[in-house]
Structure 1
Amino acid sequence: MKVSVVVCTYTLDMYEHFHEAADSVLAQTYDDIELVVVVDGTPEVYDRVVEDYGDREDTVIACNEENVGLLASRNRGAELASGDVVAFIDDDAVADEAWAERLVRAYEEEDAIAAGGKMTPEWVAGKPSFLPEEFYWLVGVTHRGFADGPGEVRNTFGSNISFRADVFAELGGFDVNIGGRKGDKNLQGGETELCARMREEYGRGVWYDPEAEVAHKVFEYRTEFRWLVDRAFWQGYSKRAMESFVDSGRREERTFLNQIILHSVPERLRSLIIDRSVSESERIFCIFVFTLAVGLGYLYAIIDYQ
């Protein structure tokens, strides 16, 4: 089973991070790997990629004529891929060396049609003490309570997800309208929408293997409180917006909210009473603020999409 891994990049500012992401793909313990690089309309970046990887037989490199966005670039990468499985990883992430091996295991042993794994944090500027693990998803990291272990989930993060190539093609890939609908560049959730369509078409979700790990670099600006609140708002907006594309269901969101209200907050309050930790009080405060921001974003989207 051949695995094609698509990495999209577009700016020289991210090149060193892209280089590390690409090298992590090529250093997999699984042998039958193809790296597909799509440069999104930046000739200077394309030239550097060709210089560094152009002589490799296991690498395909392409450059869009203009900037078309991440989802369209990923679709192009999937079209260029020759693997039985097409996987996606961001240019600010690093795959564990056994990542592809674990994904292949899901296809061979679980008969999966899509598979993904755990996103772990790589704190570039240090871990913020106020950020609760329940909201790690704001920085692209698998959050506390996501799943109890291996099994089928609705979707994993877009930087650690893969599909059987024929399934991805049959579904028509990512919906490129998501990233630019109503001119709102903050709209997220391409993998959520695609996996919702996959559920409708095949009646199946993504097989989640927590041992298929990808580390996501969390840069300093992503640890700023104001940025996180803004991110929470637009994530709430995106959750509602996804419902205008396809019925993605709300079971995961309800489960998450119940987990917050019935388990996380009571546990943290008990811990606060015992330890009287300033950091714990900050995390409890952030849980309420981030939850409120998500809710406000969701309500704003209801009005915006009428």
Structure 2
Amino acid sequence: MRVSVVLCTYSLEMYDHFREAAESVLRQSYNDTELVIVVDGSESVYERVVDDYGDCKDVVVHCNEENVGLLESRNTGAELASGDVVAFIDDDAVADEEWVTGLVRGYQQQDAHAVGGMMVGDWVAGKPVFLPEEFYWLVGVTHRGFTDGPGWVRNTFGSNISFDRETFLDLGGFDTDIGGRKGDANLQGGETELCARLATEYGESVWYNPDATVSHKVFDYRTEPLWLLDRAFWQGYSKRAMETFVPESGGEEGEFLRDLIKDFVPSRMKRLARAPSITAVIQLLMLIVFTGCVGGGYTYGLVRYR
């Protein structure tokens, strides 16, 4: 089974991080791995990529004629790929050496159409003490309450997900109308919509293997409270938008909210009563604040997508 890993990039400012991501793919323990690099409309970045990787075995390099965005670039990468499986990683992430092996195991053992893994945090600026683990998903890190151990899930993060390539192409890839800021609406969740379509058309979810890990760099701006609050609002908005595209896409958010109310908040309050601390108080308060921001974004989405 050949695995093609699609890595998209577009900025010289991110080039050093992109190289770390690319090198982590080239160091995979799984031998039959192809790296497909898609440069999104930047000639200067493309020239550097060609200099560094143009002559490398099992590396495909492509440059879009113009900047078309991440989702369309990923679709292009999947079309260029030669693998049986197409996997996706971002240019601010680093794959564990056993990542592809872990993904392949899901296809071999579960006969899955899609397999994803765990995102772990690389806290470049230090882990913010106010951010509760239940909301690590705001910074692209697998959060408390996602799932316990391997199993079927609706979707994993877009920087650690893969598909049977024929299935991906049959579904038409990512919907390019999703993702990125459109006016005042930062619509997110391309992988959510695609995986919801997978469930609708193939009757199957994504197999989650927590042993297939990717480290996501959490830069300093992503730990600023205002950025996180804004992110929470637009994530809530995106959840509502996803429900209008694919009505079946909202189940996991409902379960997460129930867990927050019935389990996470009460358990934090009990721990706080047993061992009071300023950090515990702040995280409990922020748990409520972030939940409110997500709810506000969802409500805004109800108005916009009536």
- Contact 2:180/2:188, CA 8 A, preserved across alignment: no
Residue 135 of structure 1 aligns to a residue whose secondary structure is helix
Amino acid at match of 2:100: A
For the pair 1:146 / 2:146, whether they are aligned, the reply is yes
In 2, Cα distance between equivalents of 1:184 and 1:168: 30
- Contact 1:193/1:248, CA 8 A, preserved across alignment: no
In 2, Cα distance between equivalents of 1:181 and 1:44: 24
Aligned to 1:170: 170
In 1, Cα distance between equivalents of 2:180 and 2:43: 23
- Contact 1:120/1:141, CA 8 A, preserved across alignment: yes
Q: CA RMSD in A?
A: 1.1
- Contact 2:40/2:67, CA 8 A, preserved across alignment: yes
Residue 45 of structure 1 aligns to a residue whose secondary structure is helix
In 1, Cα distance between equivalents of 2:180 and 2:207: 29
Aligned to 1:250: 250
Kindly tell me the number of residue pairs found equivalent between the two proteins: 306
Residue 105 of structure 2 aligns to a residue whose secondary structure is helix
Aligned to 1:50: 50
In 2, Cα distance between equivalents of 1:246 and 1:194: 9
- Contact 2:102/2:211, CA 8 A, preserved across alignment: yes
For the pair 1:236 / 2:236, whether they are aligned, the reply is yes
How do residues 202-221 of structure 1 correspond to structure 2 at under 5 angstroms? 202-221=202-221
The structure-2 alpha-carbon separation of the partners of 1:223 and 1:180, relative to structure 1 and needing over 3 Å to count, comes to closer
In 1, Cα distance between equivalents of 2:54 and 2:22: 13
Amino acid at match of 2:76: R
For the pair 1:74 / 2:74, whether they are aligned, the reply is yes
Amino acid at match of 1:246: V
In 1, Cα distance between equivalents of 2:136 and 2:179: 22
Structure 1-normalised TM-score? 0.98
**Offset at 1:180?**
5.7
After superposing the two structures, state which structure 1 stretch, 248-257 or 218-227, moved more. 248-257
- Contact 1:236/1:296, CA 8 A, preserved across alignment: yes
- Contact 1:9/1:18, CA 8 A, preserved across alignment: yes
Amino acid at match of 1:143: H
Aligned to 1:13: 13
Structure 2-normalised TM-score? 0.98
- Contact 2:95/2:213, CA 8 A, preserved across alignment: yes
Structure 1 gaps, min length 5: none
Moved over 4 A (4+): none
Residue 129 of structure 1 aligns to a residue whose secondary structure is coil
How do residues 247-286 of structure 1 correspond to structure 2 at under 5 angstroms? 247-286=247-286
Structure 2 gaps, min length 5: none
Aligned to 1:24: 24
Aligned to 1:135: 135
Q: Residues 144-173 of structure 1: CA distance to partner in whole angstroms, max 9, x if unpaired?
A: 010111111000000000000000000000
Q: Residues 223-265 of structure 1: CA distance to partner in whole angstroms, max 9, x if unpaired?
A: 1111111000000000001122222332211110111111111
Q: Residues 28-82 of structure 1: CA distance to partner in whole angstroms, max 9, x if unpaired?
A: 0000000000000000100110010001121000011111000000000000000
In 1, Cα distance between equivalents of 2:133 and 2:279: 13
After superposing the two structures, state which structure 1 stretch, 80-89 or 175-184, moved more. 175-184
In 1, Cα distance between equivalents of 2:12 and 2:209: 33
In 1, Cα distance between equivalents of 2:219 and 2:30: 29
**Offset at 1:181?**
8.1
